[in-house]
A and B are shown apart, each in its own frame.
Chain A
Amino acid sequence: MACLLLNLLFSILISLLIFNKYTKAKVTGVCVNCHTMHNSQNGASMMFNSSYNNATGPIRYLLRGTCLGCHGQNPSGTNYLINGIPQVLHAGSVDLPGGNFAYIVGIKTRVGSDQYTAGHNVVDLGVIDAYLSSPPGDVYSTGVTNNNLTCAGKFGCHGDRTVSDPYLAIRGAHHTDDSVLKFGSINLSAQGGTVGTSFRFLLGVKGGELRWDRYTTNETHNEYFGASSPGSGGSATSPAGNTISGLCAECHGNFHSTMGVGTSSPWLRHPSDRLLPNTYEYQYYTTYNMTAPVARQATWSGWSGSGPSNTVTPGSDVVMCLSCHLAHAGPYYKILRWDYKGWPGNGGVNGCGICHKYKD
């Protein structure tokens, strides 16, 4: 019996070690990891001791931190996960797929950008964007400004954007069974109906979640959902086509609309939610490249597979906003995935050349 228990314990330990880095949005574990009944333990505050918590407590829903309080618990630390909580703001080398807000506040070194061009300057960081007072291309008049941009809700990206209060906008998502987003059990039709069943709690967005860290190989990455056209139905609070680019378009709609971008080549602006052509220079992009990832259509067979694919299929796969940009922040100008501004003088990567092979 003792041996059996020991084996069970060992198995659990190994499972935690192996799978901890893999994404699992439905929170498990003891409540105290996130909540506090009285914000007091032996007379001391239970608030996360983050300089970006922006609250001494108590916080609604008995939380121990704000968004950044929980997801940026230790800005000077090096862990991208703390107690299974993904860290969007830390000093470590491993960023999340969306990047790292540490580049905005200067904890991590910027390359070719400044504190206003390295990322989305959510007000929680205390670095108000000095260049942009509203989102470029904001055709839906979201009301988002440099003084109210935050993580969730009407003025953020995550949660229900019809709800102003970020806590209400995200409420319940952390406790939702999100297995429909996980490889092996992905169910596209069951995604996007609630915040909890939406890719990265981005309401309405579909996709396939694999891991929290920004992937380091072509095979281990999340899969983004895209479409062959921007479609209709997009609004300030609803992503057209349930795509990740549709989510971006809620604030930057002009860069996603047929009016702002065009309907075919020659485009007026860079297209997103358009198929990577299987002709000309584009046909040679066939191996997934982390510098310019593609999204997958609903018809992609990989959704029913056990994991993501390192194959790109021109003519089927999709160019998206995140093919060029990160979502949170990065070292490079305009949240781009490579040092666009410095090329070719920097002798570095030409991200454009990944799709535009002949322009390298």
Chain B
Amino acid sequence: MAVVSVISIRIKYLAFIVFILLLSIFTSKYSESGNYTNSQHGDPTSGVTRSSIDSRYSGFSRGNCAHCHEPHASIGGSEPEPNTGVAAGPDKVLLFSEEEDVCLSCHNGVIVPRDMRTVVNKTYRHPITDYSGRHTLSKNEYGQNGAPFRGTNRHAECVDCHEPHYIGKPGTAYHSYNTTSPANNNLVSNLLKGVWGVEPTTEGTWLSPPTTFTELTTPGVGASKEYQICFKCHSYYALQDSDGITSIIGPSGQYITDQSMEFSKNLKSVHPVRVPLNNQTGSYAPKALTASQLRSPWNSAPGSQTMWCSDCHNSDASSPVGPHGSNYKFMLNGTRKYWPASSRGVLFSLNNVRNNENNWSTELFCVNCHILYDGNWKNNAHSNHDSRTYTPDGGSGSHPYYCITCHSVIPHGSPRSRLIVYRTDPQPYVYVNGTVIYAMLYGFKKASPTSYQGTNCYTPSSQCYRHNTNAGGYD
């Protein structure tokens, strides 16, 4: 009996050892290897190949390192193709060319169908073609508290947003709504896998952005959420601006602002790029809009869903997707691409919607996701103002109530609910034309969509006699 017991213990012990061995083999395989060969570039069947550029690579396996890297910048005694222009001579990281030219040599609509070369040269773009010599090495660009993205170093190259050794394959989770786990809609897509990013270590407040960040640099993992990649350049991490409003004017003519401040969880309203609105700690009920105010797929889980930055900012081409370049300001995504004014340069207003003017239904960006009016307004604050007029501060004449009369010009986030802007807010959140200031409100408190009353808003302006009373309790 004792012998059986000993044998039994030994078998269990052996089984445990085998289990541990198998576990270690499994984990080592997936933690240390296979990242590249599982990537789109490293796929031995459909991965990268330079054979159509230089036939000497036809014998190389697809996915081979040599299709991008030249260990000696020599093959058969001469530099491989391409070797003219910026590609002439040896290049950093043993690549066959410099910076974006490496990627665009294939991603040009010919070798790879998705024509990135055209997209990145559009009017409003990430400036990958605008600078050279600013990007060093991705792994050398962290650990410096954002300095490589600051001042005269400020740059964006392909590899700042894409990790070519880990990049996933187009297809599922490429850029589609996650119906199963809507809270995970902000997770990086396959095409952003492995890129490093930053996460604020504290939550900022309005005009006081977070100033410390955790660098998410674990190889093969990097950033888990899309905004963490964007924050490398669009936050204090790079900008080092204490109030979050820089003096840098972006390609769309707007001051560059701090998105880590604008998407702070402390704010009363944001688009949910970081957490679902139900988890937006600065907000109060009702936190989310109602499903009837949203278009599909956003009407499926209001309050429980997140979104990508690239849901709003994207190329104007159907392919390749991603915020590379567009001929529309702010690289606005969707079929409607104008904000805050139409293609005619006329500010969108409630009157436009009510009277079907100013191409609102085909151009007003917000309408891509938000149902404002379907014969009836979805919000009584809108319906109460769709035929009224006012005179902006410093202006003259009668003006309809524009979107930006009440809402922020930069509809990322606001210290007020529902992205409301106050007359006292700074540019560029408040719309200013010359000396004319279009914002009117000095106070706002949220209500359910159809129960707004005069006291929910406050302004001392005599034009808004229903809102002259300061009832207190405003955002």
Q: CB within 8 Å of B: which residues of A? A: 112, 131-134, 136-137, 255, 260, 265-270, 280-281, 284, 324, 333, 340-347, 352-353, 357-360
Contact = CB atoms under 8 A, between A and B. Distances in A.
Contacts of A280: 139, 219
24 contacts: A136-B72, A137-B72, A255-B74, A260-B90, A266-B93, A267-B94, A268-B73, A268-B94, A269-B94, A270-B72, A270-B94, A280-B219, A340-B65, A341-B64, A343-B61, A343-B64, A344-B47, A344-B61, A344-B63, A345-B45, A345-B63, A352-B65, A359-B65, A360-B34
A346 B44 CA distance: 8
B87 to A, nearest CB: 13
A265 B62 CA distance: 27
Nearest to B136: A266
B90 to A, nearest CB: 4
B73 A132 contact: no
A235 to B, nearest CB: 20
Contacts of B77: 131-134, 136
B250 to A, nearest CB: 29
Contacts of A346: 61
A268 B90 contact: yes
B91 interface: yes
Given A268-B91, A343-B64, 6 more contacts: A260-B90, A268-B89, A342-B61, A344-B61, A344-B64, A359-B35
Interface string B25-39: 000000011111100
Contacts of B34: 360
- From A112, A134, A324, A343, residue with most partner B Cβ within 10 Å: A343
A324 B74 contact: no
A131 B56 CA distance: 12
B42 interface: yes
A138 B45 CA distance: 37
Contact of A345 (B44, B71, B76, B139): B44
B140 interface: yes
B60 to A, nearest CB: 5
A285 B381 CA distance: 65
Contacts of A353: 33, 36
B433 to A, nearest CB: 47
Nearest to B32: A357
A345 B42 CA distance: 9
Contacts of B65: 340, 352, 359
Contacts, number: 94
Contacts of B301: none
Interface of B: 32-37, 42, 44-45, 47, 59-66, 70-74, 76-77, 89-94, 136-137, 139-140, 165, 219-220
Nearest to B166: A358
A344 B139 contact: no
Contact of B37 (A255, A324, A360): A360
A3 B139 CA distance: 71
A132 B47 CA distance: 30
A345 B62 contact: yes
Given A131-B76, A137-B74, A360 B36 contact: yes
B74 A340 contact: no
A265 B94 contact: no
Given A265-B140, A267-B94, A360 B32 contact: yes
Contacts of A255: 72, 74
Given A341-B61, A345-B61, A359 B165 contact: yes
B76 A360 contact: no
Contact of A136 (B74, B89, B136): B74
A265 B165 contact: no
A269 B61 contact: no
Q: Which 5 A-B pairs have the closest CB atoms?
A: A345-B61, A268-B90, A266-B92, A345-B44, A360-B33
Given A266-B136, A269-B90, A360-B33, A344 B42 contact: yes
Contacts of A359: 35-36, 65, 165
Contacts of B93: 266-267
A182 B360 CA distance: 86
Contacts of A344: 36-37, 42, 44, 47, 61, 63-64
Nearest to B45: A345
- From B33, B42, B71, B140, residue with most partner A Cβ within 10 Å: B71
B154 to A, nearest CB: 19
Nearest to B220: A358
B112 to A, nearest CB: 19
Contact of B165 (A345, A347, A358): A358
Nearest to B47: A344
Contacts of A333: 59
Contacts of A268: 73, 89-92, 94
- From A134, A340, A347, residue with most partner B Cβ within 10 Å: A340
A324 B94 CA distance: 15
Contacts of B64: 340-341, 343-345
Contacts of B47: 344
B35 A360 contact: yes
A133 B78 CA distance: 11
B69 to A, nearest CB: 9
- From A270, A342, A353, A358, residue with most partner B Cβ within 10 Å: A358
Nearest to B60: A341
Contacts of B91: 268
- From A333, A340, A345, residue with most partner B Cβ within 10 Å: A345
A255 B37 CA distance: 28
Given A343-B61, A343-B64, A344-B63, A324 B71 contact: yes
A343 B61 CA distance: 6
A324 B32 CA distance: 21
Contacts of A260: 90
A39 to B, nearest CB: 41
A132 B74 CA distance: 11
Given A131-B77, A270-B71, A341-B64, A358 B219 contact: yes
A358 B219 CA distance: 7
Contacts of A270: 71-72, 94
Contacts of B137: 265-266
Given A268-B90, A340-B64, A358 B35 contact: yes
A266 B141 CA distance: 12
Nearest to A112: B59
Contacts of B37: 344, 360
B66 A341 contact: yes
A255 B72 CA distance: 6
A340 B34 CA distance: 16
Contacts of B70: 269
A357 B165 CA distance: 12
B73 A269 contact: yes
A352 to B, nearest CB: 6
Contacts of B90: 260, 268-269
B56 to A, nearest CB: 10
A115 to B, nearest CB: 14
Contacts of B165: 358-359
B321 to A, nearest CB: 27
A281 B219 contact: yes
Contacts of B59: 112, 333, 341
Contacts of B89: 268
A110 B44 CA distance: 21
A137 B76 CA distance: 11
